[in-house]
């Protein structure tokens, strides 16, 4: 109708409030989420501890690998130095026999022939060979009159001489040689016996010759023949 009042009433102007429905399961879901989060946090801590243990194990293996690599390098360097120092050992053993023959030739030369050109040439060759030995670190063992040392000498026979201290080298049958700090060939010697015990001079570190001789004859492979 034309006279009808179409203005909204105050009741119609009130805001519409939506009804909020709280699900009964919401508090339980929140609790489960909290429990799950706590469990995940515990797993993270365990994982961190596991990773730290693996890191420590890897570090230990790495340190061992570095130490082994250093040992290999040192060993290779030592072998290289030994090869440089002792690489000519077998050749040197052959050459000392040549030196023996040259020395025997000089020692057996009659006096009336020592001034000949041939003997002078032999003497010069022997001296040149000894110089070559020196450059290669090869030295003759000085044995005559020295206390017996089983590290350098090989006893071939005994010399009964009460006037000399026991255990001295009385005679050299064949010269010995060393190359640097290693024995190349032992000197073959005769050793005194029957005299008083050898006493080293004051300040000399050489062990008693008698003890060295008695302890070392078997080690040196000595073949003792009694000399009367």
Mean pLDDT by 10 residues, the chain (228 residues): 49 50 52 56 79 90 92 90 84 89 89 87 91 90 88 90 85 90 91 78 52 44 38
> What are the Cα distances from residue 215, in Å, to 136, 149, 167, 212, 219?
32, 10, 11, 5, 8
Residue 20 belongs to what H/E stretch? none
Q: What local confidence, expressed as pLDDT, does residue 50 receive?
A: 87
Residue entry with tokens 């001034």:
115
Q: What local confidence, expressed as pLDDT, does residue 70 receive?
A: 92
Alpha carbon distance 55, 32 (integer Å): 34
Q: How many CA atoms lie within 13 A of 224 on its CB side?
A: 16
- pTM (predicted TM-score): 0.57
Residue entry with tokens 């070392």:
216
Q: What local confidence, expressed as pLDDT, does residue 22 receive?
A: 46
The SS3 call for residue 37 is helix
For residue range 161-192, what is the model confidence (pLDDT) as tens digits?
888 888 889 889 889 999 988 899 999 999 98
Residue entry with tokens 């492979």:
221
What are the backbone dihedrals phi and psi of residue 114, each rounded to the nearest 5 degrees, phi first?
Answer: -70, -20
Q: What local confidence, expressed as pLDDT, does residue 31 receive?
A: 53
Burial 135-145 (b: 16+ CB within 10 A, else e): ebbbebbebee
- Residues 156/227, Cβ–Cβ less than 8 Å: no
> What are the Cα distances from residue 125, in Å, to 12, 101, 106, 116?
138, 11, 11, 14
- Residues 179/96, Cβ–Cβ less than 8 Å: no
Q: Which of 97, 108, 121 is nearest to 176 (CA)?
A: 97
Q: Which of 152, 187, 145 is nearest to 170 (CA)?
A: 145
Q: What local confidence, expressed as pLDDT, does residue 223 receive?
A: 39
DSSP assigned state of 16: P
């Amino acid at each position: 109708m034309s006279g009808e009042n179409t203005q909204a009433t105050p009741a119609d102007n009130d805001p519409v409030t939506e009804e909020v429905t709280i699900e009964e399961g919401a508090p339980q879901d929140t609790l489960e989420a909290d429990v799950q989060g706590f469990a995940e946090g515990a797993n993270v801590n365990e994982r961190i501890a596991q990773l730290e243990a693996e890191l420590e194990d890897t570090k230990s293996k790495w340190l061992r690998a570095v130490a082994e690599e250093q040992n290999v390098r040192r060993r290779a360097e030592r072998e290289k130095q030994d090869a440089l120092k002792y690489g000519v050992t077998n050749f040197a053993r052959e050459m000392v026999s040549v030196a023996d023959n040259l020395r025997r030739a000089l020692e057996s030369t009659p006096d009336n022939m020592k001034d000949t050109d041939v003997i002078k040439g032999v003497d010069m060759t022997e001296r040149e060979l000894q110089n070559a030995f020196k450059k290669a670190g090869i030295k003759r063992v000085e044995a005559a009159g020295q206390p017996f040392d089983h590290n350098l000498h090989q006893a071939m026979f005994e010399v009964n001489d009460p006037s000399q201290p026991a255990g001295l080298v009385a005679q050299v049958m064949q010269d010995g040689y060393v190359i640097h700090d290693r024995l190349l060939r032992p000197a073959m010697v005769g050793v005194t016996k029957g005299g008083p015990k050898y006493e080293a001079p004051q300040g000399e570190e050489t062990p008693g010759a008698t003890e060295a001789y008695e302890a070392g004859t078997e080690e040196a492979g000595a073949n003792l023949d009694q000399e009367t």
